[in-house]
Amino acid sequence: MDGLFVHESAHFEDGVNFGKNCKIWHYAHVRTNATLGNNVIVGKSSFIDVNVKIGNNVKIQNLVSVYNGVTIGNDVFIGPHVVFTNDLYPRSVGDWNITPTFVDDGVSIGANSTIICGNNIGANSLIAAGSVVTKNIPPHALIAGNPGRLLGWVCRCARKIADKTLKEGSHSITCDHCKTINDFDVLPLTK
């Protein structure tokens, strides 16, 4: 496994697919059939469940729970204590109905956020710390609160480029901070 680092206290099961240069830190647990792309970092005491798919250049901070049914794109940052749920009607006994969640490329999710399953988080969006995502999030959206509400629109560098009053439709906005041109469609939050 090319460039793989697994701390001696971490555990990974047979059948994990590691890309190049992955780092698995203290007490992390990666379950069978999970797929980690290149340059993935899994922080201390994080849990990656069976069949989870993680893209390239993803940083998962400490104490994150990523459950079966979650797919994470490339260049994603997941802050400490983030939880991804995977069943809308969980019970300790009976049927377990995995409801998929998709996190697109370039997303940042702040510490202590909860992502309710069945929602898609659009590319380059920013979920503020402590948010609860209960709806699909459009690309470049800035979301905060419980439930998560739209506060505006962000650049790929995560700086705010427009407030929430930006009209629906296609936009091309240059970031004052990094000078990147952001081409995206303003869409409503939907379920």
Which pLDDT tens digit goes with each residue over 78-132? 999 999 999 999 999 888 899 999 999 999 999 999 999 999 999 999 999 999 9
Q: What is the pLDDT of residue 189?
A: 84
Q: Where do the domains of the chain lie?
A: 5-89+96-186
Q: What is the pLDDT of residue 1?
A: 63
For the chain, the straight-line distance linking the first and the last C-alpha, in angstroms and rounded, comes to 40
Read off φ and ψ for residue 77, nearest 5 degrees: -115, 130
Q: What is the pLDDT of residue 39?
A: 98
| Nearby residues of 8 by Cβ (< 8 Å), 6 or more positions away | none
Q: How far is CA 187 from the centre of its chain?
A: 19
Q: What is the pLDDT of residues 11-42, one digit of tens each?
A: 999 999 999 999 999 999 999 999 999 999 99
Residues in the chain: 191
Residue 92 near residue 74 (C-beta atoms within 8 A):
no
- Name the burial class of residue 111, with classes exposed (0-12), middle (13-18) and buried (19+) by CB atoms within 10 angstroms of its CB: middle
Q: Which CATH class is domain 5-89+96-186?
A: mainly beta
